[in-house]
Amino acid sequence: MIESHLPVYIPFTFLAFSLVIPLLAIWKDDWSQPVATAGAGGAALLSLYGVLTHAGSEPLRYYFGGWPPPVGIEFVYDGLSAFMLAVVNIVTFLVLIHSRKIRLAEFASKQMAFYSVVMLMMLGFNGMILTGDLFNMFVFLEIASLSGYALIAIGGKPAPVAAFRYLIIGTVGGSLYLLGVGFLYNVTGTLNMKDVADMLPLIAAERSLVTALILMAVGIGIKSALFPMHGWLPDSYTHASSTSSALIAPIGTKVAAYVLIRILLFTFGLEQINAVVPLTTILGLLACAGILYGSIMAIAQFELKRMLAYSSVAQIGYIILGFSLGSVLGLIGALLHVLNHAVMKACLFMVAANLRLQEGHSDIRRMDDSYRLKYPGTMAAFTLAALSMIGLPPLAGFFSKWYLALAVIEKSNWLFLVVLLVSSLLNAVYFFRILEKVYLKNPKIQETGAPPITPRQEPPASMLWPTLILGVMLLALGLGNVPIVNFLEGAAP
Amino acid sequence: MIDFFLGHYSYWLTTLLLCIGLYGILFKRHLLKKMIGLSILQTSIIIFYVSIASKGGDATVPVKAAHLPVDNPDLYINPLPHTLMLTAIVVGVATLGVAFSLLMAIWNRYQTLDEQELLDKTQND
């Protein structure tokens, strides 16, 4: 019973909870956060169950209303989407636990609306991951984006301006995607991804297909902040409230990148694409430019959240780079990086939130060695995540870069290898700058002979523990990467 | 040549609308005017879908009527793009709603909707 309906249960948990929260709030406004967390926890458990039971088995296809495609809409629950759902929902669950105290500090009222919109956004992301229909994808994309704009607008004073800019750019992206789907529908007469994939080799209308392909790639590229379409991202992440950025940064752009993988790899097929237009080469080069640009811009930032935002631009480049290689190894590297980066970025944004709650700012210039004594747990999690971002073994970040590097070497693409190595060094620059301030410099000991006694000021347990769990998860994911890679190898086509 | 333009006139008009929308988004400094541009852009895509549904000839709207036999699809235009566009229109309305509430929030905080002035004012925050 639960097996065959699993693909619907997971997204609709979020839909149900987004409706339950406002109703409950009439009675008890304070329950929004626990109820939302429970909903995300339920969805996370279901998707974890799905990954464990469906590993390697046939894809589960759920037909809405019993109408088989191409007439009806279908959800496709295969290894890839099961994996993505588990990543997204588990990270969301932890971020929502973490959100209780920081939300109270940043904006005390309107928690019902906030959590309800969070649930709606997660419905959008889950739907984007699952759907097997191109137009349905547009609808879920817009659900996720519209809730995302609202969530980003809650935050600092300039947050609505950043959200508005994101809205303009994001809606243009969505519209271009829709236009691309229109071109594709015009020549294939179907909207089902699998049906389109079966139909494409039979179609001669090359110009329409190229137009459709480029419009869709640009549309999704805007949503995934692929360089040079990343302009909306740094301001949005910086000014949004801590919970919003901890939710959207690890998940939003990753889901869009996954949609790009689905459309380019599974619907169009890389061979067919490369026969008409060198899209993968272009994507690979853009990804490289994004990796270098994001890393260099991150070095120039003095605000922790802004630095992490630019680093996100760079990290999305790794994912695009991985799958644009078109090999199984590259795809594994890209997907492993989706998982690792989601955990790392969530952890880092949580650290920024913890510091903001306790210090009132997250300015790198004002960090010093007292942080090590005041926040031993938070800074330990930060260190784990930072080392993982740089790619030190045995942390998770090393393994995704390892597979990406293997894939690049397999294709003998030395430019990409140089970019991977240089960007790791650049990552090291902007993270060691903070680690050095917190752990190495100690002028006070030299002056007085003994360190001054600084009381611990760790944030509340509901914020500290999710941060630490994510940090330790990075270690676990790194050490236990073999079963994950095996799973992904089975999921790759 | 003339046939090429006249035969595809609805596509030319859609393209023109799309360009007008993009022009508004890119070059107008007032945020409300950008919103109008965005709306025009979305409308142009809706018209594009509606025009690909057309079949020419005798095809008409798919409404059951006495003089239209139900077993001949050539007499009906393709209804699917129209239904898809119903959803797209709803999405567009939702986008407008979110955008206007954002504009209100911006106005309340900065008392301006001019992009350049906003850039100057947000620089300090």
pTM for this model (two decimals): 0.92
Interface of B with A in 66-95 (CB under 8 A): 81, 84, 87-88, 91, 94-95
Structure tokens at A121: 């956004």
pLDDT 10s digits, A226-264: 888 888 888 888 888 888 888 998 898 899 999 998 888
Mean pLDDT over A402-424 rounds to 89
Shortest CA gap B66–chain A (Å): 27
> Does residue A378 contact residue A458 with C-beta atoms inside 8 Å?
yes
The label of the residue with tokens 């996954």 reads A258
Residue A348: pLDDT band (50, 70, 90) is very high
pLDDT at A135: 93
Domain regions of chain B by residue span: 2-123
Tell whether B11 is within 8 A of chain A (Cβ).
no
Answer yes or no: do B42 and A185 touch at CB < 8 A. no
> What is the rounded CA–CA span in Å between residue B102 and residue B99?
5
pLDDT at A444: 56
Question: B41 to chain A: which residues are within 8 Å by CB?
Answer: 172, 175
Q: B2-123, what's its fold?
A: Helix Hairpins (1.10.287)
**Facing residue for B41 by CB, picked from A158, A172, A186:** A172
d(CA A418, CA A425): 11
Mean pLDDT of A325-349: 90
Q: Say whether pLDDT at A456 is over 80.
A: no
* Secondary structure in 3-state letters for chain A: CHHHHHHHHHHHHHHHHHHHHHHHHHHCHHHHHHHHHHHHHHHHHHHHHHHHHHCCCCCEEEEHHHCCCCCCCEEEECHHHHHHHHHHHHHHHHHHHHHHHHHHHHCCCCHHHHHHHHHHHHHHHHHHHHECEHHHHHHHHHHHHHHHHHHHHCECCCHHHHHHHHHHHHHHHHHHHHHHHHHHHHHHCCCEHHHHHHHHHHCCCHHHHHHHHHHHHHHHHHHCCCCCCCCCHHHHHHHECHHHHHHHHHHHHHHHHHHHHHHHHHHHCHHHHHHHCCHHHHHHHHHHHHHHHHHHHHHCCCEHHHHHHHHHHHHHHHHHHHHHCCCHHHHHHHHHHHHHHHHHHHHHHHHHHHHHHHHCCCEHHHCCCHHHHHCHHHHHHHHHHHHHHHCCCCCHHHHHHHHHHHHHHHCCCHHHHHHHHHHHHHHHHHHHHHHHHHHHCCHHHHHHCCCCCCCCCCCCHHHHHHHHHHHHHHHHHHHCHHHHHHHHHHHCC
Taking CB atoms and an 8 Å cut-off, how many pairs form between chains A and B? 69
Look over chain A and give the mean of its residue pLDDT values, rounded to a whole number.
Answer: 87
pLDDT band of residue A449 (cuts 50, 70, 90) is low
Q: What is the ipTM of this complex?
A: 0.93
Task: Tell me which of A110, A161, A184, A232 to substitute to probe the interface with B (most B C-beta atoms closer than 10 Å).
Answer: A161
Give residue A255's pLDDT.
Answer: 92
In whole angstroms, what is the distance from residue A399 CA to residue A20 CA?
A: 41
pLDDT in tens, A273-330: 777 778 888 888 999 999 999 999 999 988 889 999 999 999 999 999 988 888 888 8
- Over range B5-14, report the average pLDDT: 83
Extract the tokens encoding A18.
Answer: 């987004």
